[in-house]
């Protein structure tokens, strides 16, 4: 990895306001800050480079604020820890908003810092300081961060930064935002404030469930004839992963996993039924057969149940384990529908799993025999057309991942849920959280950064639309030498929306053959490999045949392992794996 090294540093003691802020960032434990530079934080920038020597935290230079935030998002997906991001006054925040929304919906911790001012109008430089100062900058993003503050002194900044770090990493996690006045950063400090004892301001432990609620849930589950376990937004820890497996085994519970969430249960386990995005006939049947459903913070439980039972009159008993209500507000509807629950445990899903496992083991004493594998491994029928089908692509990537420790960071929208395999919590990292297209490149770089040194190959599969919106992120990966393999599922279109237009036309008796207008990204066709090469990455393709795809993936993996950023342009058929329930007409 490459980090820029400053020269001729003088070993002077901290003497400027921003030196103190930088020291607190280090004390908090930030390894990296991603940023696009800006004069509003030139004081802080100088402190990070010339006072701290661009180490702990080290700067990662992005070409767009959305990339900077998405990188922090991907990093937190792997580590569960926050990365720092510094944004330039109001304009930098404006560029970053969608990525912050994605991170918020994905419940990842992130420490965002920004700047404004001078708030003292008499000290403003003409013009620029006025347009880059706002009365309430955080108002731009307050609806989708956990906490913000604009401290008026260094002492207050220390407290604000500690609180922000504590709040961001207290589950349910999320981004926080602290704004520093330029004058506070650029003022000389005579008697520097002492650094706070950061260890005494650690995040709270996850919320544990009340013992009587655990006992009641365990009784319901032990009595169940056909329990169904739905692990959703759970942590990446291996202990929690093993406890989840043990809980399913002790209950003899069948398990479903969700393509929107990161790997939560081994897909090869005999109790694992399937991975879903929207329910299929087969997955609806599994729900209909169950008598007790245990959701471990399953994303959109109500919406899932409504795909099986049209009303909330669900015959199965529901146990909902989620602390998510702690961060809901009235602006974002990312809390989804309100699920019926016979037992509602406002608690962390991993902490609850550990408690439930102990109680179930106490009640049951012996572990039921595991069923024989109920599902044969998904068979892949190669597409007959000359194009590479979405299943072919998923099959080839899965084949590559099967040969070496791989983290599949993201997958394209057409990726078949049933084709996803994972047997370790880091095998797959789930979705972007907020459905904001354009975060794929940034999230993947941040995840790849966090995966360095683990021996894992970071692979990401991005739609051409998603890729292009974040394409300049490749330069950051190349500059900082963060190895990553990007597979572009290039259907030459914002294809998701072609299907919406087709649906509209059919519903209205209009010609569906016009669905491509305002959607196709072709003529001129993008030279994706050249876009990669132009930024210092390796560009391969376009790949149009399956055999060639397998070969190219293998060679790309070798180059990624050698430290390169590699992009493969794969021409895939414009098709989605059925079912595409999100193309339903409202009320369907
Ligand atoms: C910021 C943003 N703009 C627009 C959309 C609407 N949208 C959802 S999916 C999609 C198409 C994405 O294209 P691509 O990544 O190529 O995936 P494909 O559907 O072609 O597989 C669009 C435009 C969105 N979700 N987010
Ligand atoms: Mg596309």
Checking if the pLDDT of 419 tops 90, the result is: no
**Cα 416 to ligand 1 centroid, rounded to whole Å:** 17
**How many helices (H) and strands (E) are present in the chain, helices listed first?**
19, 17
* DSSP states along 130-195: HHT--SSGGGGTGGGSSEEE--SSHHHHHHHHHHHHHHHTSSSP-EEEEEEEHHHHHSB-SSPPPP
The residue-averaged pLDDT of 170-197 equals 94
Query: pLDDT confidence of 384, banded at 50, 70, 90?
Result: low
**Nearest ligand for residue 499 CA:** 1
Checking if the pLDDT of 513 tops 60, the result is: yes
- CB of 564 closer than 8 Å to CB of 480: no
* DSSP states along 498-520: HHHHHHHHHHTT--GGGTTTTTB
Atom 9 of ligand 1, residue of closest alpha carbon? 496
Report which ligand 1 atom has the smallest distance to the Cα of 576.
Answer: 21
**Mutate-to-test residue for ligand 1 from 102, 260, 413, 431, highest number of ligand atoms within 8 A of CB:** 413
Half-sphere exposure of 469 (CA within 13 A, CB side): 19
**Nearest ligand for residue 413 CA:** 1
Atom 17 of ligand 1, residue of closest alpha carbon? 463
Pairing of strands 58-61, 32-35: parallel
**Cα 546 to ligand 1 centroid, rounded to whole Å:** 25
Report which ligand 1 atom has the smallest distance to the Cα of 463.
Answer: 15
| Dist. CA 460–CA 447, nearest whole Å | 10
**Cα 418 to ligand 2 centroid, rounded to whole Å:** 20
Atom 11 of ligand 1, residue of closest alpha carbon? 494
Residues near 79 by Cβ (< 8 Å), separated by ≥ 6? Answer: 236, 450
Residues near 126 by Cβ (< 8 Å), separated by ≥ 6? Answer: none
pLDDT value at residue 339 = 96
Helix/strand/coil for 544: coil
pLDDT value at residue 372 = 79
| CA 128 from centroid of its chain's CA atoms | 35
Checking if the pLDDT of 332 tops 80, the result is: yes
Query: pLDDT confidence of 13, banded at 50, 70, 90?
Result: low
**Nearest ligand for residue 434 CA:** 1
Torsions phi, psi of 489, nearest 5? -80, 90
Residue carrying structure tokens 């904001």: 436
Residue range 222-261, pLDDT digits in tens: 999 999 999 999 999 999 999 999 999 999 999 999 999 9
Longest alpha-carbon distance in the chain: 76
Residue range 111-139, pLDDT digits in tens: 999 999 999 999 999 999 999 999 999 99
**Cα 432 to ligand 1 centroid, rounded to whole Å:** 12
Report which ligand 1 atom has the smallest distance to the Cα of 440.
Answer: 15
Task: Look up residue 572 and give its DSSP letter.
Answer: B
Q: Which two tokens stand for residue 179?
A: 């704004």
- CB of 51 closer than 8 Å to CB of 15: no
pLDDT value at residue 12 = 67
**Cα 494 to ligand 2 centroid, rounded to whole Å:** 4
**Extended beta strands in 63-146, E state:** 84-87, 110-116
pLDDT value at residue 418 = 84
Checking if the pLDDT of 311 tops 90, the result is: no
pLDDT value at residue 375 = 53
**Cα 436 to ligand 1 centroid, rounded to whole Å:** 8
With both helix axes pointing from N to C terminus, report the angle between 349-364 and 238-251 in degrees, rounded to the nearest 10.
40
- CB of 521 closer than 8 Å to CB of 493: yes
Report which ligand 1 atom has the smallest distance to the Cα of 496.
Answer: 19
Query: pLDDT confidence of 3, banded at 50, 70, 90?
Result: very high
Residues near 447 by Cβ (< 8 Å), separated by ≥ 6? Answer: 74, 75, 77, 78, 407, 409, 429, 458, 460
**Cα 288 to ligand 2 centroid, rounded to whole Å:** 35
**Cα 496 to ligand 1 centroid, rounded to whole Å:** 6
pLDDT value at residue 316 = 97
Range in 8-12, 85-89, 156-160, 465-469 with the lowest mean pLDDT: 8-12
- Bridge partners, 257 (sequence order): 275
pLDDT value at residue 578 = 59
459 C-beta neighbours (distance < 10 Å), count: 26
End-to-end Cα spacing for the chain = 50
pLDDT value at residue 380 = 54
Q: Which two tokens stand for residue 91?
A: 């304009």
pLDDT value at residue 21 = 97
The residue-averaged pLDDT of 331-349 equals 97
- CB of 415 closer than 8 Å to CB of 576: no
- Bridge partners, 458 (sequence order): 407
Report which ligand 1 atom has the smallest distance to the Cα of 412.
Answer: 21
- CB of 251 closer than 8 Å to CB of 421: no
**Nearest ligand for residue 432 CA:** 1
* DSSP states along 237-291: -HHHHHHHHHHHHHHT-EEEEETTS---S-TTSTTEEEEESS--HHHHHHHHH-S
Checking if the pLDDT of 10 tops 90, the result is: no
Please, what sign has the CA dihedral across residues 48, 50, 56, 61? positive
Report which ligand 1 atom has the smallest distance to the Cα of 435.
Answer: 25
Report which ligand 1 atom has the smallest distance to the Cα of 462.
Answer: 15
**Nearest ligand for residue 501 CA:** 1
Residue range 481-495, pLDDT digits in tens: 999 999 999 999 999
- CB of 311 closer than 8 Å to CB of 337: no
Q: Which long-range contacts (CB under 8 A, 24 or more apart) does 133-138 make?
A: 133/89, 133/90, 134/89, 134/90, 137/89, 137/90, 137/93, 137/179, 138/177, 138/179
With a Cβ cut-off of 6 Å, ligand 1 is lined by: 98, 412-414, 435-438, 463-466, 491, 493-497
The residue-averaged pLDDT of 495-524 equals 96
**Cα 8 to ligand 1 centroid, rounded to whole Å:** 47
**Mutate-to-test residue for ligand 1 from 437, 443, 466, 525, highest number of ligand atoms within 8 A of CB:** 437
Report the chain's mean pLDDT, rounded to a whole number: 94
Query: pLDDT confidence of 381, banded at 50, 70, 90?
Result: low
Residue range 530-577, pLDDT digits in tens: 999 999 999 999 999 999 999 999 999 999 999 999 999 999 998 887
pLDDT value at residue 586 = 58
- CB of 54 closer than 8 Å to CB of 27: no
| Dist. CA 58–CA 182, nearest whole Å | 21
Q: Which two tokens stand for residue 438?
A: 């354009």
The residue-averaged pLDDT of 284-289 equals 96
| Dist. CA 495–CA 475, nearest whole Å | 26
| Dist. CA 303–CA 207, nearest whole Å | 25
| Dist. CA 34–CA 556, nearest whole Å | 27
| CA 353 from centroid of its chain's CA atoms | 22
**Mutate-to-test residue for ligand 1 from 494, 497, 571, highest number of ligand atoms within 8 A of CB:** 494
Atom 3 of ligand 1, residue of closest alpha carbon? 437
pLDDT value at residue 386 = 60
pLDDT value at residue 580 = 54
pLDDT above 90 as % of the chain: 90
**Cα 412 to ligand 1 centroid, rounded to whole Å:** 10
Range in 33-42, 70-79, 198-207, 305-314 with the lowest mean pLDDT: 305-314
**Cα 79 to ligand 1 centroid, rounded to whole Å:** 27
pLDDT value at residue 577 = 74
pLDDT value at residue 312 = 79
Report which ligand 1 atom has the smallest distance to the Cα of 490.
Answer: 16
Pairing of strands 254-258, 272-276: parallel
Report which ligand 1 atom has the smallest distance to the Cα of 467.
Answer: 15
């Amino acid at each position: 990895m490459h980090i820029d090294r400053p020269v001729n540093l003088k070993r002077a003691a901290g003497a400027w306001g921003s030196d103190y802020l930088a020291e607190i960032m280090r004390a908090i434990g930030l390894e990296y800050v991603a940023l696009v530079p800006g004069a509003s934080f030139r004081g802080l920038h100088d402190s990070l480079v010339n006072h701290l020597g661009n180490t702990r935290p080290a700067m990662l230079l992005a070409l767009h604020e959305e990339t900077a935030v998405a990188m922090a998002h991907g990093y937190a997906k792997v580590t569960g820890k926050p990365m720092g991001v510094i944004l330039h006054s109001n304009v930098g925040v404006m560029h970053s908003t969608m990525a912050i929304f994605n991170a918020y919906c994905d419940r990842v911790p992130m420490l965002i810092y920004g700047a404004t001012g001078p708030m003292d109008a008499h000290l403003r430089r003409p013009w620029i300081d006025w347009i880059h100062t706002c009365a309430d900058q955080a108002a731009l993003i307050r609806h989708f961060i956990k906490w913000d503050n604009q401290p008026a002194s260094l002492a207050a900044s220390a407290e604000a930064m500690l609180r922000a770090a504590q709040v961001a990493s207290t589950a349910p996690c999320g981004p926080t935002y602290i704004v520093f006045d330029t004058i506070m950063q650029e003022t000389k400090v005579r008697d520097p404030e002492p650094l706070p004892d950061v260890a005494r301001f650690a995040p709270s432990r996850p919320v544990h469930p009340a013992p009587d609620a655990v006992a009641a849930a365990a009784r319901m589950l032990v009595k169940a004839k056909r329990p169904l376990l739905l692990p959703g937004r759970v942590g990446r820890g291996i202990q929690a992963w093993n406890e989840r497996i043990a809980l399913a085994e002790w209950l003899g519970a069948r398990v479903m996993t969700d393509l929107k969430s990161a790997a939560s249960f081994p897909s090869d386990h005999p109790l694992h039924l399937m991975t879903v995005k929207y329910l299929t006939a087969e997955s609806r049947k599994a729900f209909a057969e169950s008598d007790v459903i245990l959701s471990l913070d399953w994303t959109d439980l109500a919406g899932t149940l409504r795909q099986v039972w049209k009303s909330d009159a669900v015959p199965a008993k529901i146990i909902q384990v989620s602390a998510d209500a702690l961060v809901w507000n009235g602006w974002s509807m990312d809390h989804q529908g309100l699920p019926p629950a016979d037992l509602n445990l406002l608690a962390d899903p991993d902490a609850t799993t550990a408690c439930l496992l102990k109680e179930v083991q106490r009640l049951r004493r012996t572990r039921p025999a595991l069923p024989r594998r109920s599902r044969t491994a998904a068979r892949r029928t190669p597409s007959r057309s000359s194009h590479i089908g979405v299943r072919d692509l998923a099959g080839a990537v899965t084949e590559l991942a099967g040969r070496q420790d791989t983290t599949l960071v993201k997958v394209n929208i057409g990726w078949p849920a049933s084709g996803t395999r994972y047997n370790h919590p880091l095998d797959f990292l789930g979705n972007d959280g907020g459905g904001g297209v354009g975060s794929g490149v940034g999230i993947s770089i941040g995840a790849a950064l966090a995966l360095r040194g683990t021996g894992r190959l970071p692979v990401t599969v991005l739609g051409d639309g998603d890729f292009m919106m974040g394409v300049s992120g490749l330069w950051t990966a190349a500059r900082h030498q963060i190895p990553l393999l990007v597979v572009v599922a290039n259907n030459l279109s914002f294809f998701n929306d072609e299907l919406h237009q087709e649906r509209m036309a059919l519903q209205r008796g209009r010609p569906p053959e016009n669905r491509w207008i305002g959607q196709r990204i072709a003529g001129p066709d993008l030279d994706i490999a050249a876009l990669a090469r132009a930024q210092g990455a390796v560009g391969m393709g376009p790949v149009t045949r399956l055999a060639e795809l397998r070969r190219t993936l293998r060679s790309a993996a070798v180059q990624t392992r050698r430290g390169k950023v590699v992009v493969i342009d794969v021409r895939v058929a414009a098709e989605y794996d059925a079912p595409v329930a999100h193309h339903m007409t409202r009320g369907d």
